[in-house]
Amino acid sequence: MKTVHTLAQLRAALAPSQRPAFVATMGNLHQGHLELVRQARTLGDITVASIFVNRLQFAPHEDFDSYPRTLQADAQQLQEAGCDLLFAPSETELYPQPQTFKVVPDAALADILEGHFRPGFFTGVCTVVMKLFQAVFAGHSQGVALFGMKDYQQQLIIGQMVRQFALPIEIVTGQTRRAPDGLALSSRNGYLSPAERAQAPALYQALRQLATQARAADASALPALQQQAEQALAAQGWQPDYLTVRRRSDLLEPQGPLSGQALVALGAARLGRTRLIDNLEF
C-alpha cells in the first residue's frame, strides 16, 4: 500500500485507474471500516481509503482535539485488508484557507435526528465528503464510494448529495459490524470504561425491542413506544437523545399501520461521556 499526503500525489497515483473504490474515514479504524475496504476491493480497480479528522463536523464542545489519531496502526490494518492507496492529508492540505464555501444539505433530512442534536454536523460531513470526492474522483468518469450503515442518516444524505449533484459515483452501504454481544463497532467505543462497555449493548437491545413492538402497531402508538424505550434506557443510566421509528427512504415519521412499511429504528444516547448511535432496519 502506498501512503500519500497531498492532493497532487493522490491524483497522480489515481491517474491510471478507470474506477476507483473509495472508503472515507476519520481513522482509529475497526473491523467495520476494514470490511468496507475488503468490499471496495471487489467493486473498483484500485482501493483508496482516506484518514482525515474533519474539524468542520465537530461542534466546539465535541471531541475534535481528543479524537484518537492512530495513523500508523490504521495504515498497517489497511494494508492487511488489501487497500492499495491511503490518502492522509494534513489540515492545511485539505483546508489551505478557511472553508467558507460549504455544502448545505436539505434541512428536511439533515436538521432532524443527528442534525437536531449536532447542529451543522451534516454540513461539515457533506463539505468534506464533496472535497474528498473531488480529490479522488475528479477526472474519472465512474467510481464507487462505500459508507457504513451504522451512520444511517449520513449514508442517506450522501446518497442524496451525489444524486442531486449528478456525481458519477455509485454509493454502496456496508452492513454494520457488531461485537458478539451486539454492540455496533465504532471508533468511539474506545472511550467506554469497562463498566460502560458491559452496559453498551443495551442501546441495540432497546432498538430491537422497539422494532418488535412497532412491527405490530399503528403509527399512532409510536410516541408512547418511543417514550417507553427512552425511559427504559434512562433507568439503566443512559441519557437518550432519541429512540425513534422512521421511514427508511426519508427518515420522516410513518403514518398508518406499520406492518409492511420499510422502516428503521434509530437511536442515539449518551453513556457517561460517550455518545453512541445505532439503528435497525425492519
Q: Using the rule CB under 6 A, is 25 a contact of ligand PAF? A: yes
Residue with Cβ nearer ligand PAF (89 or 225):
89
Pairing status of strand 263-271 against strand 239-247: antiparallel
Q: Using the rule CB under 6 A, is 241 a contact of ligand PAF? A: no
Let me know if 33 is a catalytic residue: yes
Q: How many residues does the chain have?
A: 282
Pick from 35, 74, 84, 151: which binds ligand PAF (CB under 6 A)? 151
Q: How far apart are CA 222 and CA 209, in angstroms?
A: 13
Cell of residue 226, nine digits: 418511543
Q: How far apart are CA 225 and CA 66, in angstroms?
A: 36
Q: Considering only 10-18, 123-131, 165-173, 189-197, which stretch makes contact with ligand PAF by CB under 6 A?
A: 123-131
Residue with Cβ nearer ligand PAF (129 or 225):
129
Q: Using the rule CB under 6 A, is 129 a contact of ligand PAF? A: yes
Among 157, 148, 146, which Cα is nearest to 21's? 146
Q: How far apart are CA 8 and CA 135, in angstroms?
A: 9
Report the Cα 36 to chain-centroid distance in Å. Answer: 12
Contact 252, 266 (CB under 8 A): no
Residue of 33, 61, 116, 140 with catalytic role = 33
Q: Using the rule CB under 6 A, is 125 a contact of ligand PAF? A: yes
Q: How big is the site for ligand PAF, counted in residues (CB under 6 A)? A: 10
CA-to-CA separations, 156 to 74, 132, 164, 256, in angstroms, rounded: 26, 17, 12, 23
Pick from 17, 28, 47, 54: which binds ligand PAF (CB under 6 A)? 54
Site for ligand PAF in 152-211 (CB under 6 A): 154
Q: Considering only 3-11, 23-31, 75-83, 103-111, which stretch makes contact with ligand PAF by CB under 6 A?
A: 23-31
Q: Considering only 1-9, 18-26, 159-167, 234-242, which stretch makes contact with ligand PAF by CB under 6 A?
A: 18-26
Contact 143, 171 (CB under 8 A): no
Q: Using the rule CB under 6 A, is 40 a contact of ligand PAF? A: no
Amino acid in position 171: I
Q: Using the rule CB under 6 A, is 128 a contact of ligand PAF? A: yes
- The CB density around residue 81, as the number of other CB atoms within 10 Å, is 21
Q: Using the rule CB under 6 A, is 251 a contact of ligand PAF? A: no
Give residues in contact with ligand PAF (CB under 6 A).
Answer: 24-26, 54, 57, 125, 128-129, 151, 154
Provide the annotated active-site residues.
33
